[in-house]
Chains A and B, each alone.
Chain A
Amino acid sequence: MKENSLFELVNRENKWFSVKVPLDLEKKVVASIEDKIYRNLIILKRLRFISVASLSIMTCFVVLFFAFHNRTKMVFVYPHSGNEKRVYLSRNNEKIPMVLDEEKGLWTVVIHAPHKSIYDYEFIVEELPEESVDVTTGDVGVKEE
């Protein structure tokens, strides 16, 4: 008898069954979607921030790289008389010691100018035996490469 009712059910053309749906399903679905959207927005924001930050860092790096490599190299030379203790190149109270090239008989120093412009440099000579300072101004011995 019971078996027959099962066959009757399968033979009918109307609905056989329906699934019990949780009452709060709709709320849960909407809440989960809102949560996913919110989380994705945060991720998107972070990704955007990271991409902007990395782009800025890369730009800075490229600018610095080219700035460094495009700096004008200047070689300063000062004739060695044999009496100097030390020769300095000076600009804005900053003293840069020059190196003595005994073979050529020259004091030399290489400077990288930040950009092309006109700069004022001075040679400061510390002579022997008295420590007198001879200041020579002008473009003496300046070479640009």
Chain B
Amino acid sequence: MDEKELIRKAKNGDFEAFKKLVSCYNKQCFSFAYYHLKNRADAEDFVQEVFYRVFLYLKRYDEKRKFFSWLYAIERNVLMTFFKKKKKKQLEVEEVFVENIVFYDEKLNIEDRVALFKAIENLNEMEKDLIFLKYNEDLSIKDIAEAFHLSEENVKVKLFRAKERLLNLLKERRV
């Protein structure tokens, strides 16, 4: 069953179809939450809240839009409420945090891993999300552009700048 069919069924109250949607997107949602909230318990609560909202508002979902970009908008809203509860937007990057992340370059030691995420924390919200979607979710530029309502060219430029800023922050650290 393709995604559109699944969404249509879930929209019509088919809970089994909704469960399959959860199954497809819960990992992405958890990764997004953990990347921002830096805590597994909070990330689990976040995922539950996001999918509860998906369940409540699925009827409003416009099928012309990609489901991922709609879900991403919900995630961002829920994230704002979580940050409001915590009363801060930047959370400390600790060793425990990076232990729950698999790096594709195994040569990196724990300090470098922490340094990378500390540098990411210094980027703005959009840059942080761009890095996440591109280098954690491995999304195409086209999909990212749709999620951000930007042109593909614009996304490429922003991503390039985000990486440059990140490299500069890492160089500053070395100095």
- 11 CB contacts below 8 A, A to B, read A2-B108, A9-B104, A19-B35, A19-B101, A22-B40, A25-B26, A26-B22, A28-B48, A29-B47, A30-B22, A36-B52
Given contacts A2-B112, A14-B138, A20-B101, contact A25 B35 (CB under 8 A): no
Which chain A residues (17-59) contact chain B, with CB distance < 8 Å?
A: 17-22, 25-26, 28-30, 32-33, 36-37
Min CB gap B113→A, angstroms = 8
Stretch in B71-79, B86-94, B166-174 touching the partner: B166-174
A9-B116 in contact (CB<8A): yes
What residues of B have a CB within 8 angstroms of the CB of A9 in the complex?
A: 103-105, 108, 116
Q: Looking across the interface, which residue of chain A has its beta carbon closest to that of B174?
A: A3
Residues of B within 8 A of A (CB): 19, 22-23, 26-27, 30-31, 34-35, 40, 44, 47-48, 51-52, 55, 100-105, 107-109, 112, 115-116, 135-136, 138, 163, 166-167, 170, 174
The CA of A36 and the CA of B166, in the complex, are separated in Å by 41
What residues of A have a CB within 8 angstroms of the CB of B108 in the complex?
A: 2, 5-6, 9
Given contacts A7-B170, A29-B26, contact A19 B105 (CB under 8 A): no
**A interface: dominant SS:** helix
B112-A28 in contact (CB<8A): no
Q: Looking across the interface, which residue of chain A has its beta carbon closest to that of B104?
A: A15
Interface size class of A (residues with CB under 8 A): 20 to 34
**B interface: dominant SS:** helix
What residues of B have a CB within 8 angstroms of the CB of A33 in the complex?
A: 22, 48, 51-52, 55
B100-A10 in contact (CB<8A): no
Min CB gap B24→A, angstroms = 10
Within 8 Å of chain B (Cβ to Cβ): is A66? Answer: no
Q: Looking across the interface, which residue of chain B has its beta carbon closest to that of A16?
A: B135
Given contacts A25-B44, A33-B48, contact A17 B136 (CB under 8 A): yes
